[in-house]
Amino acid sequence: MTSGSTKPLPALKTSYVDLFYVHAISNIDEMGGHWREWAAKQKQAGKIKFFGFSSHNNMEACLEGAAKLDFIDAVMVAYNFRLMTEPAMQKALEACTKAGIGVVAMKTQGGGPVKSDSQAELDMAGRFLEKGFTDKQAKLKAIWENPAIASVCSQMPNLTILSANVAAARDATALARQDIEALARFAADTRGDYCAGCAAVCSAALGGSLPVADVMRAMMYARDYGEPALARELYASLPERLRRADGSLDVAAAEAACPRGLAIAAIMAEAATLLA
Ligand code: SF4
C-alpha cells in the first residue's frame, strides 16, 4: 500500500493492518516528508501496528538509512544467496539489527533477467537432491539460517511450491558449511546473470534518470518467474527512451559501470522485443 489514505481498509475487509509498507522505494529520502507523522497517526488510531517500506533497488543504502530513522519497524528487501555474501549487505543488515528493525527477505530464489541453464546450476541442484531437498529449498534455508532476517516473503503461485516451502520450513536439518559454499560458488559462476539492484550505479552512468534496473527486474519476471503479464506491466511503466527497440539509447557506460558485468544492451534489446 502506498496511499496515505486508510480507505483501502474496507476493501481489504479489515479494520487494521499489522504491517504497512510503502512500496518499492529506491532512496531513503522517499521516507522523508509526511511519513513519520502519518505512521504515528495511523498507529494511534489503531489502523496499523507496524510501519516500514519495501525496496528492490539500492537496498543496502535504504537499509542503512532506515537504521538511522526512528519510525521504521520493518523493511522488506530483495535478499538471497547471491546477496548474502556481499559485505555492503551484511553491514546494512547489522545496522538494522542494532536498530531493532525487522528485515523481511523477498526475491529469495535469486532469479535474474537471464535464465541460466548452466552446468553449474544442474550440479548444484543434483548436490542438494542427494541430500533430500531441492536447490530451491536450500536457497530458503540459507536465508532462514541468518538471524538478521526476521521472515521470508515467498511467492507461492501453486500447491507444489507451497508444499515444497512448507516441507523446507518443517525440516530442521541445517545446511552444512559445504552447502553454503556450493551456493556461493554457484552465485559466483553465474554472477552476470543476476541484477543486484544497485540501480544508482547504472542510472548514474546514463545521466541519473533512467531506471535500467527496472528493465532487468521486468526481464526477471518474464524469464525467471514466468510471469509475462507482470513483466509487461512493469515494462510499460518505464520511460519511453528505455523501451526503444531501435538501439538508439547507448548503454555502454552503464555496462562498463555494472559491477556484475550484466549484458545490459542485449537484455534491453530482448526486453524491447519480448515485453513491448
Ligand atoms: S549496475 Fe548492473 S547489477 Fe546494478 S542495478 Fe544496474 S544492471 Fe543491475
Q: Which of 189, 218, 235 is the last residue of a domain?
A: 189
**Residue count of the chain:** 276
Evaluate: CB of 175 within 6 angstroms of ligand 1.
no
Structural domain that includes position 144: 10-189
Our CA dihedral for 160, 235, 86, 165, rounded to 10 degrees, sits at -10
Closest CA to 20 of 59, 71, 68: 71
Strand partners of residue 54: 76
What digits encode the pLDDT tens for the residues 134-174? 899 999 999 999 999 999 998 888 898 888 889 888 988 88
- For residue 69, the CA-to-ligand 1 centroid distance in Å is 27
250-270 pLDDT, tens digit per residue, is: 999 999 999 999 999 999 999
250 and 161 in a single domain? The answer is: no
Question: Ligand 1: does its nearest atom lie under 6 Å from the Cβ of 213?
Answer: yes
CA of 83 to the centre of ligand 1 (A): 13
Where among 168, 189, 210 does a domain terminate?
A: 189
Question: Cα(221) to centroid of ligand 1, in Å?
Answer: 16
**Counting beta carbons within 10 angstroms of the beta carbon of residue 196, is it exposed (0 to 12), middle (13 to 18) or buried (19 or more)?**
buried
User: Is residue 206 domain-shared with residue 152, that is, in the same domain?
Assistant: no
Query: Are 78 and 127 found together in one domain?
Result: yes
Claim to verify: residue 143 and residue 84 sit in the same structural domain? yes
Q: Is the CB of 264 under 6 A from ligand 1?
A: yes
Element (H, E) at 98: helix 87-99
Q: What cell was used for 82?
A: 547471491
Give the SS3 label for residue 51: strand
pLDDT average, residue stretch 217-246? 92
| Structural domain count, the chain | 2
Cβ of 216 closer than 6 Å to ligand 1, yes or no, is yes
Instruction: Name the pTM for this structure.
Output: 0.89
* pLDDT value at residue 2: 43
For residue 71, being part of any structural domain is answered with yes
pLDDT of amino acid 255: 96
pLDDT digits (tens, 9 = 90+) for 23-55: 999 999 999 889 999 999 999 999 999 999 999
Q: Whose CA is nearest to atom 2 of ligand 1?
A: 258
